Amino acid sequence: MPILKSLGVADAKVPRAGTLPRRSARNPFEDVPGLEEEEPGRLGTLPNGASCGRRATLEKLVGLAPFRLAWPPGRRAGGGSHGQPRSFLGRVLPPGIRRSSADFGLLARLQGARGQGDEEAGEAARRLTFLRLGRGPKPRRASLAERVVPAGEAAPEPPPKAREPPKLKEPLSVLEILSLIQQRELARADEHILELEAEELASSGGAPGPPQAEGAGGGRRARDVALLYEALQRELWALVRETLAGPGPGAGAGAGAVAQLGQVLLQEEAADGRRGPGAARRLRARWAEAVARAARERLEAAAPGAPGGLAAQLEALRARLLEDMGVVRGRLAPAYPAGLGAFGVYLRGYHRALAEWLGAAARRRLPLADRYALLHWHHQVYPREVLGLVDMVALENGELGPLLSPGTVRGLEDECVTDVKAQTRAALLRALQEDEEHWGSPEDLPSTLAQDVCELLEEHTERAPRISQEFGERMAHCCLGGLAEFLQSFQQRVERFHESPGARELPPDTYISRTIGLVNCGPPLRALAERLARVGPPESEPAREAAASALDRVTRLCHRVLADLLFQELQPYFCKLMRRKWLSSTEALDGIVATLGAQALALRRMQDEPYQELVAELHRRALVEYVRPLFRGRLRCGSRTRSRVAGRLREDAAQLQRLFRRLESQASWLDAVVPHLAEVLQLEDTPSIQVEVGVLVRDYPDIRRKHVAALLDVRGLRSTAARQEILAVARDLELCEGEALAPPRDRAFFADIPVPRPPFCLGLPLLGRFPFLGLPRPRLACLPRLRPPPPPPSRARAQR
C-alpha cells in the first residue's frame, strides 16, 4: 500500500485475480455501446468505462443504425477467422457480415471518442502491469502428461488431431477493398469487387445492368461497386503513366504492378463475358485509351517549344519515341500477360498521340522550312528510324495507319510548291539584275550567275525527292517552269547587251571575256534543265524545250559575236588567197594560222561543250572563207597551172587540218573538202572527174550544179559535151537528194558560198546577123547576164 500511495493509486479499487469481468462466449457483442443493461450497477464498470452487465439481442443488432449490417445471401452467421469474433472500431461483429460504405462516415465520427477511450484504457493497463511485476513471475504449472506419467518413463504419443472442416473465406468490407486498391494490390482488390458485384446481382435478381439509384433495392451496394471501380481505374491508369517514366527512383511501379494490371484486365475481360454486352465495363479498351493519353502527355512534355523551331521539336519527339518504346519493349511488354498484346497497344497509343500532334502542327501557318521538315519527318524519319526498329508482326490488326491524312499531306505539298515558285522567281530575277549590272563594267569580274541559279533551285529539287517520289516530281516540274521563264529573260537581256552601243565601247579583251562568261552560263543551266526534265512528269517536256531553245540562242549569238570579231582580224589574210602571189608565198596562210592559234588561248577559257561548238564553227567558217575566192573565179587555171594550184590546195588543207586538230576540233568531216576540190582541178579525163564530183556531192549534199560549174570554169574546161556529162552527174545526185532533208546548219558548207551567175554566151552565127554593131566578134562572144530590175521603193522610203 505505501508503494501504491506513492504512485497515486491508493484509492483505486483494484479487483482481485479472477474477479475481472469476461465476455460471455454466448454473447460476443457485450462491448457494443447502445445496448441495454439487465442489472445496472451489479458488477460495476471496467477501467475503460464499459459496463459488465450488458446483453444484446438479434433484433437490437439488426436495428443498430450506424452499422447497417447486411447478411450476404447464401451465407450464415458463423465464427470469425480462427474461431475469433471480428471487431471494427472496438466493436465485435458476427462472422460472415460485410460492412458497407456507411462505415466510411462512422470511422470519422468515432475518431475523437475512440482516442479518449484508448488513453483511459492505456492508463489502467500500465497500473495492472506494475502490480503484476510486484507479485513476481507466474509459477510454471506441470502439464497433464507430467502429472499422469511417472518420472523416467516415456510419454505416450498424443492422439491424432481430428481434421478440421475447411474455413469459409471471409468477405472484405468496402474499406478493406479500398485499402487494397491504395496499396496497389490490384488483382486481389478486383477479385473482391467482382464478388461484391456478384452479391449485388444476386440480391437484385441476377439481371446484369447499370448500377441502380440509391434508395432502390440493392442501390447502396451497387453504388459501392461503382465507387470501387472508379478507384480501381484511377490506380490502373496512374500505374500506366508511372510505368512509362522508365526505371529509377520515383519512376513508378515495377514489373509486379504491371503484371497485376494485366491480371485485372484479364479478369475483367472474363467478367464482361458474363455481364453481357449491355453491362460490359470494357476495361481493356479503356486501358488502350489510357495508354494513348499517357503517350500524349509524354510527347507534349518532350517538345513544348524548342528554340530550333519545328525541326528541333520533331527531333525531340523522335528521341522520346525511341526512349519510351525501348522501355515498353524491354520492361513493360514482357510483364503483361501474352494475350493482351501489350506492345501493339503501346505502339498504337503512341502512334495515335503522334498523329494528333502532327495534325495540330500542320494546321498552323508554317514557314517553308518547317513544312519541309514536317513532310520529311512524316515520310522518312518516322517510318525508317522509329517503325523500322519495331516488329510489325507483333501488331494484332496489321499495319498502322498514316500519321497525316492524304488530304493534309497534299495540302502541305501544295503550299510548298506555291511558296517555292514565288520565292525562286523573285530570287532568280534579283540575281539576274545584280549580274547584269556588271556586264557593262570595264572591269573583268567573274560571273556567278549560273552557280547562284543552280543553288537556288537545287535546294528544293534535292530536298523534295528525299521526302517522296511524287513530291519530287511536282517540285521538279515547278522549278523547271521557273528556270525556263528565267532563261527567256536571260536571253532577252543578252541580246540587248550585244546590241547596245556600250558593249562595243568596252575594251576588246573585256568584251570577249564578258561574252565567254555569258556562254559559260549555258552548260550548268542546261544540265539542270535536263535533270529536272528527267525527274519531272511528262508534262515537263515543253518547259525543257523552252529552256534549251533560250540557251541555244544565247550560245549561237555569243559564238557569232566571237567569230565575227576573229574573222574581222583574219579578213586581210583571206583577201590575199587565190591570187598569183598566193601560189608562190605562204604569207597569207601563215597569218591565218598564227591568228587562230593566238585567239584560241583566250577561247580556251570557255567550257568544253560550247568550246567544241565554237571551234567546229571556226573550222567550218575558216574553210568557207578559204575556198570562197576560188568559186568567185578569182583564179583561172591553164593546163600548166592546174597541178600547181591543186598541190597548193592540198598543202594548205593539211596545214589547216593540223591547226584545228591542235585546237581539238571535232569537225573531221571538213578535212576532205579541199582535197576533193583539188582532185577535180587536177584530173584530166572526164570519167574520173565525174567520179570525183559524185563523191563530192555525196559527202556534201548542199553542193549545187552552179558550184560544180564554177569549179569547172576555174579548171578551164571549155568542152560543152564534157561539161554537160559532168553536170549531169551533179544533177542526177541533186535530184536524188532533193527528197531528203537539208543538212543541219552545223553540217552546211557550200550553202554559205555564193557563186556569181554564169555569163550569157551568144553564138557566132548570130553575131553575123548584126554587123551594124561594129563590135569585134571575140568581145561579144560572152556577155554578162542581165540583172533583174530593182524592186520599186517602198512607201516609207518614198516618204523619206
How high is the pLDDT of residue 346? 92
- Dist. CA 152–CA 411, nearest whole Å: 105
Of residues 76 and 195, the one with the higher pLDDT is: 195
Provide the total of helices (H) and of strands (E) in the chain, helices listed first.
32, 4
- Dist. CA 284–CA 290, nearest whole Å: 10
pLDDT for residue 67 is more than 70:
no
Residue 326 one-letter amino acid:
G
Mean pLDDT, range 238-255, rounded to an integer = 69
CA distances from 330 to 251, 323, 324 (A): 15, 11, 10
Do 602 and 743 lie in one domain? The reply is yes
- Percent with pLDDT over 90 in the chain: 40
Smallest CA-to-CA distance from 336 within 403, 385, 287, 369 is with: 287
How high is the pLDDT of residue 41? 40
Cell numbers for 434, please give them.
545584280
How high is the pLDDT of residue 756? 76
Mean pLDDT, range 597-625, rounded to an integer = 91
Q: Could you tell me where the beta strands, DSSP code E, fall in 458-557?
A: none
Q: How many CA atoms lie within 13 A of 391 on its CB side?
A: 10
How high is the pLDDT of residue 101? 52
Cell numbers for 153, please give them.
518413463
- Dist. CA 675–CA 654, nearest whole Å: 9
How high is the pLDDT of residue 476? 94
**Does 502 map to a domain?**
yes
Supply the range of the domain harboring residue 555.
424-559
Do 602 and 730 lie in one domain? The reply is yes
89-99 pLDDT, tens digit each: 444 445 555 55
**Does 580 map to a domain?**
no
Do 693 and 743 lie in one domain? The reply is yes
Assign 702 to helix, strand or coil: coil
How high is the pLDDT of residue 151? 53
Cell numbers for 190, please give them.
478486383
**Helices (H), ranges, 244-282:** 255-275
Smallest CA-to-CA distance from 590 within 604, 577, 603 is with: 577
CA distances from 72 to 28, 69, 78, 496 (A): 20, 10, 12, 106
DSSP for 276-298, written as a single string:
-TTT---HHHHHHHHHHHHHHHH
Burial of 46: CB neighbours in 10 Å, binned 0-12, 13-18, 19+: middle
**Does 161 map to a domain?**
no
Of 214-218, 337-341, 530-534, which one has max mean pLDDT?
530-534
Assign 48 to helix, strand or coil: coil
Residue 515: count of CB within 10 angstroms of its CB = 23
Cell numbers for 233, please give them.
481505374
The number of distinct structural domains making up the chain is 2
**Does 638 map to a domain?**
yes
Instruction: Provide the pLDDT confidence category of residue 387 given band limits of 50, 70 and 90.
Output: confident
How high is the pLDDT of residue 88? 43
Of residues 328 and 72, the one with the higher pLDDT is: 328
**Which single residue is written with the C-alpha cell 442501390?**
219
DSSP state letter for 251: S
Mean pLDDT, range 770-780, rounded to an integer = 42
85, 95 in Cβ contact below 8 A? Answer: yes
**Which single residue is written with the C-alpha cell 445496448?**
35
Output b/e per residue, 1-26; b: 16+ Cβ within 10 A.
eeebeeeebeeeeeeeeeeeeeeeee
Q: How far apart are the first and last CA of the chain?
A: 159
480, 533 in Cβ contact below 8 A? Answer: yes
Residue 439 one-letter amino acid:
W
**Does 176 map to a domain?**
no
Do 735 and 602 lie in one domain? The reply is yes
622, 656 in Cβ contact below 8 A? Answer: yes
**Does 291 map to a domain?**
no
**Helices (H), ranges, 632-668:** 642-662
Residue 477: count of CB within 10 angstroms of its CB = 20
625-654 pLDDT, tens digit each: 999 999 888 788 887 888 999 999 999 999
pLDDT for residue 470 is more than 60:
yes
106, 89 in Cβ contact below 8 A? Answer: yes
Question: Mean of the per-residue pLDDT values for the chain?
Answer: 76
Of 111-115, 457-461, 760-764, which one has max mean pLDDT?
457-461
Q: How many CA atoms lie within 13 A of 559 on its CB side?
A: 22
Phi and psi torsions of 786, nearest 5°: -65, 135
Phi and psi torsions of 128, nearest 5°: -65, -35
Assign 40 to helix, strand or coil: coil
Do 689 and 550 lie in one domain? The reply is no
**Which single residue is written with the C-alpha cell 521563264?**
485
- Dist. CA 597–CA 122, nearest whole Å: 125
Of 71-80, 209-218, 561-570, 711-720, which one has max mean pLDDT?
561-570
Phi and psi torsions of 87, nearest 5°: -130, 155
157-184 pLDDT, tens digit each: 666 666 666 555 667 888 989 999 999 8
CA distances from 17 to 11, 21, 78, 135, 136 (A): 18, 10, 32, 12, 14
Last residue of a domain, one of 732, 747, 762: 747
125-158 pLDDT, tens digit each: 555 544 454 455 555 555 544 555 455 555 556 6
How high is the pLDDT of residue 53? 43
How high is the pLDDT of residue 99? 54
- Dist. CA 377–CA 369, nearest whole Å: 12
Do 734 and 665 lie in one domain? The reply is yes
Task: Give the Cα-Cα-Cα angle 761, 763, 765 (nearest 5 degrees).
Answer: 160
Cell numbers for 80, please give them.
470469425
Instruction: Provide the pLDDT confidence category of residue 779 given band limits of 50, 70 and 90.
Output: very low
Of 42-56, 352-366, 377-391, 775-789, which one has max mean pLDDT?
352-366
Q: What's the per-residue H, E or C state across 316-372?
A: HHHHHHHHHHHHHHHHHHHHCCHHHCHHHHHHHHHHHHHHHHHHHHHCCCCCHHHHH
Cell numbers for 251, please give them.
519512376
**Does 724 map to a domain?**
yes
Of residues 751 and 795, the one with the higher pLDDT is: 751
Cell numbers for 279, please give them.
453491362
Do 657 and 544 lie in one domain? The reply is no
Do 740 and 602 lie in one domain? The reply is yes
- Dist. CA 209–CA 93, nearest whole Å: 32
pLDDT for residue 792 is more than 50:
no
DSSP for 758-792, written as a single string:
PPEEPPHHHHHT-GGG---HHHHSEEPPPPPPPPP
Instruction: Provide the pLDDT confidence category of residue 118 given band limits of 50, 70 and 90.
Output: low
Mean pLDDT, range 587-595, rounded to an integer = 92
Phi and psi torsions of 624, nearest 5°: -60, -45
Do 534 and 621 lie in one domain? The reply is no
**Which single residue is written with the C-alpha cell 492422439?**
159
Instruction: Provide the pLDDT confidence category of residue 446 given band limits of 50, 70 and 90.
Output: confident
Mean pLDDT, range 321-327, rounded to an integer = 90
DSSP state letter for 240: H
Smallest CA-to-CA distance from 265 within 233, 228, 222 is with: 233
- Dist. CA 313–CA 319, nearest whole Å: 10
Do 545 and 646 lie in one domain? The reply is no
439, 509 in Cβ contact below 8 A? Answer: no
pLDDT for residue 255 is more than 50:
yes
The alpha carbons of the chain give a radius of gyration, in whole angstroms, of 58
703-747 pLDDT, tens digit each: 888 999 999 988 888 888 888 998 888 887 767 655 554 566 667
Do 432 and 512 lie in one domain? The reply is yes
Mean pLDDT, range 754-779, rounded to an integer = 49
pLDDT for residue 363 is more than 60:
yes
DSSP for 666-711, written as a single string:
--GGGTTHHHHHHHHHH--SHHHHHHHHHHHHHH-TT--HHHHHHH
How high is the pLDDT of residue 122? 56
**Does 246 map to a domain?**
no
Do 730 and 609 lie in one domain? The reply is yes
